[in-house]
């Protein structure tokens, strides 16, 4: 597995020189952030990003994410133009040497939490989600805005989009995803690009919007619908694992060689459909992180993995979930598990 780290570009308070000092760190996961969803990413910008990462002694291993325009998710007639643009971006990425692309198909809102700084018993802070609180929130009021959301919509525009989604069932959304995949996957194959869809976070409907990348059944459906190695998933432990009935090991079995990227983080279930993010340790959260890594090694997973969100510790301030310190601890914890299993499998000890 290739340990990697998400970096938000030159505006990120976390510096590449510091990321490089994390033991075993190889890759950077990043994106072009100043191009609106639906527009083509120019080659020069991709190359400039790649160069800045290589100058720091790291490599650009994954693009996370190339956003999917809302008209594609809604299945509007204008989607074909946006799909053409998406394809051109994929070609540009491939020609710059990027071969893994993470994306998601969540309507309107990317990852959703109800608090960005809930205290943990050890005095640190982390992201949390409480279903009862969410139910009382109105996404149009602006009372909740999150770092992962596209905030470029005007209120009226957002209202319009939410209204249009009222006519879109989960089945429609899945059909729209498959339509998109049927167009982009042949190009991804041609370009040897691995597409890795991120699960919905959390993996259930929020604000009444449909969500489809939620469980093993839907993952299987979307993988089989376009049966190509290029059509794969980002296996995100924290997203799938927020839903108690999701068995992470079974999801690995279903997706197997179609896992192209791994996000590893732990969450503590605080109720049905409620959770708080914790350190990566199995002693802090509810997810079987050690078994997950073991299983990934057993199925031969050798692609990029990144510590996902971390807590805010040691007084660090910065982008919620994306500080340096706790993600560095997470990477080290994960590398410890990976190295132990690898060595054991080689028969060098145990
Ligand atoms: C949250 C991230 C997501 C992810 C996108 C992928 O921190 O895991 O925002 O980047 O959903 O498209």
Q: Which CATH superfamily is domain 2-345 in?
A: Divalent-metal-dependent TIM barrel enzymes (3.20.20.150)
Active site members: 198, 236, 263, 308-309, 322
Mean pLDDT over 36-46 rounds to: 97
Q: What percent of the chain has pLDDT over 70?
A: 99
CA of 201 to the centre of ligand 1 (A): 8
The answer for 24, left when phi > 0, alpha when psi is -120 to 50, beta otherwise, is left
- Gyration radius from the chain CA atoms: 19
Angle at 117 between CA 114 and CA 118, to 5 degrees: 80
**Distance in angstroms (rounded) separating the CA atoms of residues 18 and 27:** 13
**How long a stretch of residues is the chain?**
350
What is the atom index within ligand 1 of the atom nearest the CA of 110?
A: 11
Of all residues in the chain, what percent carry a pLDDT higher than 90?
A: 91
Confidence of residue 13 (pLDDT cuts 50, 70, 90): very high
Summarize the confidence of residues 47-71 as an average pLDDT.
Answer: 97
Give tens-digit pLDDT for 91-113: 999 999 999 999 999 999 999 99
Mutate to test the pocket of ligand 1, among 127, 201, 260, 322 (most ligand atoms within 8 A of CB): 201
Q: How many CB atoms lie within 10 A of CB 67?
A: 18
Three-state DSSP state, 88: helix
263 lines ligand 1 (CB under 6 A): yes
Mean pLDDT of 262-266: 98
So what's the pLDDT on residue 350?
45
Rounded distance between C-alpha atoms, residue 178 and residue 197, angstroms: 12
pLDDT at site 348: 64
Q: In angstroms, what is the span from residue 269 Cα to ligand 1's centroid?
A: 20
User: What pLDDT, on a 0 to 100 scale, did the predictor assign at position 250?
Assistant: 98
Two tokens, residue 292 = 């997950």
- Domain spans of the chain? 2-345
Summarize pLDDT for 192-219 with one digit per residue, the tens: 999 999 999 999 999 999 999 999 999 9
Q: Is 335 in the pocket of ligand 1 (CB under 6 A)?
A: no
pTM value?
0.96
């Amino acid at each position: 597995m290739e340990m990697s780290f998400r970096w938000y570009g030159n505006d990120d308070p976390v510096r590449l020189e510091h990321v490089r000092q994390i033991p075993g760190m190889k890759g950077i996961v990043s994106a072009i952030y100043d191009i609106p969803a639906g527009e083509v990413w120019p080659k020069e910008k991709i190359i400039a990003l790649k160069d800045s990462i290589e100058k720091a002694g790291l490599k650009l291993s994954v693009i996370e994410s190339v956003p999917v325009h809302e008209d594609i998710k809604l299945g509007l007639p204008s989607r074909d133009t946006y799909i053409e643009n998406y394809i051109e971006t994929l070609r540009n990425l491939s020609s710059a040497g990027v071969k893994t692309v993470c994306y998601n198909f969540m309507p309107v809102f990317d990852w959703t939490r109800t608090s960005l700084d809930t205290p943990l018993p050890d005095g640190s802070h982390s992201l949390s989600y409480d279903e009862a609180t969410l139910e009382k929130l109105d996404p149009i009021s602006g009372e909740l805005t999150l770092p992962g959301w596209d905030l470029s919509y005007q209120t009226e525009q957002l209202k319009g989009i939410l209204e249009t989604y009222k006519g879109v069932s989960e089945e429609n959304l899945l059909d729209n995803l498959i339509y998109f995949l049927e167009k982009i996957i042949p190009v991804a194959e041609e370009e040897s690009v691995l597409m890795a869809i991120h699960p919905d976070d959390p993996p259930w409907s929020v604000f009444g919007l449909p969500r489809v990348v939620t469980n093993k059944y839907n993952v299987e459906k979307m993988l089989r619908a376009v049966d190509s190695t290029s059509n794969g998933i980002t296996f995100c432990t924290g997203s799938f694992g927020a839903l108690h009935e999701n068995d992470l090991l079974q999801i690995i079995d279903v997706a197997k060689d179609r896992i192209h990227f791994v996000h590893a983080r732990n969450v503590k279930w605080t109720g049905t459909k409620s959770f708080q993010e914790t350190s990566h340790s199995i002693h802090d959260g509810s997810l079987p992180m050690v078994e997950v890594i073991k299983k990934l090694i057993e199925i031969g997973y050798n692609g990029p993995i990144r510590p996902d969100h971390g807590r805010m510790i040691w007084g660090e301030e910065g982008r919620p979930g994306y500080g340096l310190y706790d993600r560095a601890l997470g990477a080290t914890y994960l590398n410890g598990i990976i190295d132990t299993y690898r060595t054991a499998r080689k028969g060098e000890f145990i």
